[in-house]
Amino acid sequence: MQKNKALSAVGLWWRWVIATLVGVAVGYPLGIAACLAGFYYLSDRLMLLGICTTGYGSLNCPVSVGIILGAIVTGTLVGIGQYFLLRRLIRSSGWWVLASTLGWAWVGFTATSLAYTPHSGFAIGSDGTFVESSFSDRLPLLATNSLWLITAGLILGILQCLVIWNGAKQEVTKHRAPWWIMVNVTLATFMAVAILAIFRGRGSLYNILIFFIEFTPFYATITGAALTKMRL
């Protein structure tokens, strides 16, 4: 208990940032290995079983399976890294790992889906001929996929918020727990805007990995600040 009282806001913030970055440092290499295993091996097995179809375009079955498996492994290890800090501060903190795994798997898939959504291309006209579609034609699809990513941030925020609210030892933290949802939705919205601006429908697994690596310090800094404001 003395240790918990001695943990200042600044101490909590930098420990959270370090815990997140260490989780990422371990999680990304293993996540890449899992992504490649899903891309080259697991997707073939799922297609043979009829669970996953080949699909069309860039975001086909191998890419989808690869990114989901990679996100699951990475999200789990990031959650474990954060758990070693949170176990000092909240009860039943083990649920944080499960919440992170499920939430980041959905974020990873929806972010990749948005990055692969083309901003222009060709479509079949009413007379059966190919006509070029403009950005305005693709805007409804881009908006829908952006909304899916923001929803993924909402789901991640809700799952983790429930863990914080359930395990918080101070009433003030419980009252401020919904802030965590708002922070994650805001970060997911920022991510959607950044993906639309950077990738323009020409995403690749390599570039998406680089994007998440660059996004991680920003995520760790903002969420760490949110935890200190919640008086965890």
pLDDT, residue 123, reads 52
Tens digits of residue pLDDT in 104-126: 999 999 999 999 888 876 554 45
User: Can you give the pLDDT at residue 167?
Assistant: 76
Supply the pLDDT for residue 1: 38
What's the pLDDT at 2?
40
Q: Is 156 left (phi over 0), alpha (psi -120 to 50) or beta?
A: alpha
Q: Give the number of C-alpha atoms closer than 13 A to the C-alpha of residue 194, restricted to the C-beta side.
A: 18
Report the C-alpha gap between 59 and 49 in whole angstroms.
19
Distance between CA atoms of residues 111 and 105, nearest Å: 10
Residues of the chain with pLDDT under 70: 1-7, 53-58, 121-133, 171-173, 232
pTM for the whole thing?
0.85
3-class SS of residue 183: helix
Question: Contact 117/201 with Cβ under 8 angstroms?
Answer: yes
